[in-house]
Amino acid sequence: MQDEFAEQASGIGALADPARRSLYRYVAAQADAVGREQAAAAVGLPLHAARFHLDRLVEEGLLETEYRRLSGRTGPGAGRPSKLYRRSSRELSISLPERRYDLAGEVLAAAIERSMRDSVPIAEAVRTAAVEHGRRIAANAATPAVPAGTVPAPMDAGGTDLERMARLLARHGYEPRLSGDRQMRLANCPFDRLANEHRDLVCGMNLALLDGVVAGLGTDRLCAELAPEPGFCCVRIRGVER
């Protein structure tokens, strides 16, 4: 994924520099705006270099800024507001935020074939195809290399069910944001443009896809549900008590 990103980004002047590219990727992945010091430390750059690259990304429209006191205090003695950076709303040709229209096409093509072959309503066929694809996403989660003769542990085996789900969805562009230990919002919709134009169809497909991922992970402690909210994917993942 990193090599693919670098190859695509090389055609965008502001992202051709490796250090600037690393800063952009770090800031874009954060749930909230970050300061220069935090970004510099995260990618291993001197503060003066990080400041230069971040401001260049702002000039190019790839990042936006805001000013806020990180201490949360106000009034005399609270200090000057810090300059913070966050990803802009601009959608790049290299799919940032990540879009997966190819995945939507695969699911919908499989659904159309099923509908024609089995004479089932298209909505039913879309749900079935999406659930099956979600199960495959979970089943195909990468496993680390291990010596011959040993049993590999799935990469997503550690942590709570919600944390396992978050790690898996992060690799597929959803940008999960955990809210406590019982809920996860998805800061990116991989099907954003399609969802805007065909909301019922695409959001239903997305819900079924994530239902399939939950089932594929073998947990009965999570559920996917439609919960549209501005700035987030239409689906959220919620922990349930058993």
Give the model confidence (pLDDT) of 105-140 as tens digits. 999 999 999 999 999 999 999 999 999 999 999 998
- Identify the pLDDT of residue 153: 43
Distances in Å between the Cα of 42 and the Cα atoms of 47, 137, 226 are: 11, 30, 34
Say which range, 77-81, 113-117, 195-199, 224-228, has the weakest mean pLDDT: 77-81
> Which of 44, 205, 96 is closest to 213 using CA atoms?
205
Rounded to the nearest integer, the mean pLDDT of the chain is 82
Say which range, 43-52, 66-75, 156-165, 224-233, has the weakest mean pLDDT: 66-75
Rg (CA), the chain: 21
Q: How far, in Å, CA of 70 to CA of 56, rounded?
A: 23
Amino acid occupying residue 162: L
Max CA distance (Å), the chain: 72
Please check the confidence at residue 145 and state whether its pLDDT lies above 50: no
Please check the confidence at residue 13 and state whether its pLDDT lies above 70: no
Please check the confidence at residue 204 and state whether its pLDDT lies above 80: yes
- Identify the pLDDT of residue 113: 95
pLDDT band for position 158 (cuts 50, 70, 90)? low
DSSP-assigned letters across all residues of the chain: -HHHHHHHHTTSGGG-SHHHHHHHHHHHH-SS-EEHHHHHHHHT--HHHHHHHHHHHHHTTSEEEEEE-TT---STTS-PPEEEEEE-SPPPTT-SS---HHHHHHHHHHHHHHHHHHT--HHHHHHHHHHHHHHHHHHT-------TTSPPPPTT-SS-HHHHHHHHHHTTT--EEEETTTEEEES--TTHHHHHHSHHHHHHHHHHHHHHHHHHTT-SSEEEEE---TTS-SEEEEE---
- Identify the pLDDT of residue 230: 85
- Identify the pLDDT of residue 29: 80
